[in-house]
Structure 1
Amino acid sequence: MFASRGEEPSTRLQLARLSLCRFRNYDQITLCPQAPILVLTGENGSGKTNLLEAISLLTPGRGLRGAPLGQFGQNGSTHWGIASHMLVDGETMELGTGLQPGADTPRRIFLLNGKPLRNQNTWENPLAAVWLTPQMDRLFSESTSGRRRFLDRLVMAAYPHHARELAAYDRAMSQRNRLLQTRSNEQVWLSGLEAAMARHGVSVAAARNETVRQINLYAQQDMDAFPAVQVRLLCAIADRLEHTPALQVEDWLKEQLAASRTVDREKERSSLGVHKSDFQLTDLKKNLSAALASTGQQKSLLIGLILAHARLVRDHRGTAPLLLLDEPLVHLDEQRRLSLQKILQNFQSTVLITGTDRAPFAPLQGHAQFATLRQGAFLSIC
């Protein structure tokens, strides 16, 4: 990603073509970036974020909006699809996703080089994406669940299997909650579900722990005008894993879940587990928590975190992630706007960046391709 002296060059990842069919506000459109950076401009509602979302759906998870399947198709269509052509150090890689035709229940299918895969979490490919959206500007003033989803996306970019562990944990927790309400005397069944929650929960907490530890190593130094940051995971299970073997933590969690059955039945939800985790983000030098920072400071801290995470993904996977930045200049002062655009010029994979006007991106002239969108179509590309 950010090349510097003494570093081994990472594999270069280029988005060569992206084709959408009946996706969001697009009927059919094909994009072929001709530069490492693509700047998408246009009025609100023109489809800029939809293009970024389509790319994000080629990676593990539910994309940058976390939307349900029924929202992707144009005018409710179930016949939508996303196809891409990637170049990994010049080698071709084809990735695609869409809805499975003829299925009774909507289900996404995935293609890698023309071959169907059972699910996206089994992909063994170098594709990862890191993104920043305007909704993240409220990350530290809104719900714990939003921050937890954000953290899990960071984990999945480095460890794709994390999505599978999260899904397995959620299934076991949902079944336990339901069983407590309907057949709470089924002790053996409950014990089995609690064992599954403990097993997958410890795996989830361990992956979060490791990702946070590595991000903090990468984020110890300022990155141009963006501050050094520190992430602190708030999770009782993760805390125990710091000084207790994983199998012992599993046993402890099973005991805690069994002891809380009466309380959980009354509350109709599980009161303990990794679904309660949170994290704090702090300016390392100023010792300023993001929760107490101004909007502009929060945005700077968040970008510092995203850039550090992108370096982690590059080194962990051997390939820099695609970088998807939706309205990133909003709330930034002039110095940091210039700094971000300077940093992007040395990124080692395709960068897509959006804004309503082209003027603020003048520093990228000569380094980027510019495209203007209007109502799901390209008005101009240069």
Structure 2
Amino acid sequence: MSLVAWLDTSADEERRMRELIKLLSDSDTLDDLGIGQIRDAFGDLLFPGVSTIQTRARYHLFVPWTYLRAARRHAGAQLASRAAYEERQLVNVLSAEGATDGLIGRRAGVRVKVLPSSIYWTGLKTYAILRADVRPSGLQQTRHFRRHEDGPDDAGTSDWSPSLPPPPDGYSKTVPGGFDLTAEESAWLREQMATATPHPQLTHSMLSHLLRRDTAPEDTWSTPWDVDDLDSAPAELRDLVHHAEMFSLVIQGARLLYNLLLAERYEELGFTSLDDPAERYREVFGEWAARCEARRDEVTSWHLNDVWPLVALKAPRISPATRLFVEGWVDAVRSQDCHTLAADSAVRRLVADREFQNKRAQSRLRNDKLLAAWRGASGTTPLVYRWFQAHRIVTDIFEGLGRADA
């Protein structure tokens, strides 16, 4: 049994730890081959401020409203404690009003451990909703809500944006509309999020592109590269999306081959809880190889020399071992027919050695007890870099823009 714990960390470190716990509980996002830093760097660049455990857009308002309420009478640790209490009470309020789609704490209720403020804190700073680089206990006390009608005179007296829309009457004992943003809230949140940049050297993101569109993202789009008007996007964003797409396509083969190796070892040891896993992964790998070969010209012309500088903007300390593994796999994909990779002993050894290098005693390929508990899939879903979370949040905003309250 492993234990992840922290005593006194920054808000960013705490957010990363929450995401780590989420990833460890999701069999489709396990990082057995150690490419998570690259995946997360693309996610940060494409969707700044969005994380894998965010759910609905209105939490970007619930959190500051809650903390402003607590700041009326409290400061420091008491402020953070009072706000946490109200966040937990908010779970019951929203649940009672039928707002359960995307509700954080839907099952745990007031016993929820990971609060919305922990999940959204980095995003609130990214979008300049929270203007101070502080943890909750570092917020200052205020006497009243800083409503947007008050104007810039309050700009120096609150940690929160002075233009923050006011909470609805009765908040937080009642939450009119639940997760439904008003038109005013949507317009404000859209502007805050659309103007956020992922890095000083990269001024356009997929998040800002989606928010600047005239319509919400289509439900049929399942990846960032499905967006149908990327041709009109700035060149730097088109390049970013292209590299993210190619990395997702190419590295998917390594992840599937790893699962094939697990399946073969599983059957070799006589485990029977899963039906014919090796045959299933041979078929799935063949389907991936066909997709890869259909884009042979793109795969061959794609170079990691163009990728590493982008990744370094958010992950400057990629280990040499990770780079060597990724470069070795990409070279194999670029140099031979993808259908032959699963039978190539050198390629199989590359993947197997990488799993052991990354997981050591937790390597399923070398720890038969762990392999016996394998559920048949480990990190098999193609990388889409927080697309579904961003899609839901952006859709919330567009739905709010269409409401007749402005």
Category of TM-score, reference length = shorter chain: under 0.3
**TM-score if structure 1 supplies the norm length?**
0.27
Q: Looking at CA atoms only, which structure, 1 or 2, has the larger radius of gyration? A: 2
Which has more strand, going by share of residues? 1
**TM-score if structure 2 supplies the norm length?**
0.26
